[in-house]
Amino acid sequence: MGAKTDTPSTSADPSAHDDERRRHKRVGIALKARVLKANGEEEPCLVVNISAGGALLKAVNPPQAGEKVVVYIDNVGRYEGHVIRSAKHHFAVDYRSRRAKTKRAADSLTYALNTPHMRIDRRANPRIRSDEPTILTLESGETIACEILDISLTGASIAVDPKPPLGAQVTVGRTVAKVVRRHEKGVGVVFTGPSAKMEDVIENTKSPIETQPSGAGLAPQFGKKGVSV
C-alpha cells in the first residue's frame, strides 16, 4: 500500500465556517467596516461573516495574525480585539474580551440582521452605533448634554432636546458640524472637517467635560458657567 497522504487542514482557510472552537454562531452578512491596525494605519474593509464574538473580514492589506486591532463595523459598533488568522486578503478577529461587549455585539448584530436597508448601501463610510454621552455647543455658546446615537467619518445622529434648527452650526464635543436633518430623537449632523481616521472622530466628539448619559428630553442644559437650573 502507498504512503498515507494527509488531507490539508482547512483551518488556515479564511472562508472556513466549521471551526469547532467558535462559541458563537456566525452569519454571512455584507457590512462595511474599517480596521485600525497596531501601527496606527486605518483602512476600509468588508465583513464576510460575523458573530457576537468575532468576525471574518476582507481587506486589501489585512493586519497580521496576533496583531491587536480596532474594528468599526457598520450598524454594529467599535470593537477591540486580536487577529487570530490572516491570509492574503482576509483576516479573522476575536473580540470576546469582555462579556458586556459580547452582549452588546449580539444586540447590535440582531439589529443589523433585522434591518435590511441598513446593510451595504450608498454610504462611503460605515456608520457605527453608539451610546456615547457628549456636549453639543450652539453658535450662541450655550451647551446642551446629549447622546451620540451613531457616528461615521463624516457625520453623526444625535439625541438632543431642544433640537437645533436646520442649517445651524454646532460643535459636537470638539468637532464643528452642521445640522442637516431633524428626527424623532434629535438631529443629524455633518462634520465640516471630516477626519481620515474613525478613532480620531470618536475621540474628538467626546465630551470635553465629564458627563453622564441621559435620555433625550431629560438632558440637562449647561451654561457657560455650569449647569443651569
Which has more confidence, 123 or 50?
50
Q: Report the C-alpha gap between 103 and 96 in whole angstroms.
A: 10
Residue finishing a domain among 118, 139, 164: 118
Averaged confidence pLDDT in the chain: 77
Q: Are 38 and 69 in contact (CB under 8 A)?
A: yes
Q: Domain range holding 89?
A: 27-118
The reply to whether 6 falls in a domain is no
- Please indicate, yes or no, whether residues 50 and 109 belong to a single structural domain of this protein: yes
Residue finishing a domain among 78, 96, 118: 118
Q: Are 147 and 126 in contact (CB under 8 A)?
A: no
Q: Looking at residue 113, what is its pLDDT?
A: 56
Using alpha carbons, select from 192, 178, 214 the residue that is nearest to residue 222. 214
- Segment 76-111, tens digit of pLDDT: 788 899 999 999 999 999 987 655 455 565 566 665
- Please indicate, yes or no, whether residues 142 and 197 belong to a single structural domain of this protein: yes
Q: Looking at residue 191, what is its pLDDT?
A: 92
The reply to whether 58 falls in a domain is yes
- Segment 137-191, tens digit of pLDDT: 999 999 999 999 999 888 999 999 999 999 999 999 999 999 999 999 999 999 9
Residue 66 Ramachandran class (φ > 0 left, ψ -120 to 50 alpha, else beta): left
Domain count across the chain: 2
- Please indicate, yes or no, whether residues 34 and 66 belong to a single structural domain of this protein: yes
What is the pTM (predicted TM-score) of this model? 0.60
The reply to whether 65 falls in a domain is yes
Q: What is the CATH number of the domain that holds 138?
A: 2.40.10
Residue finishing a domain among 118, 142, 165: 118
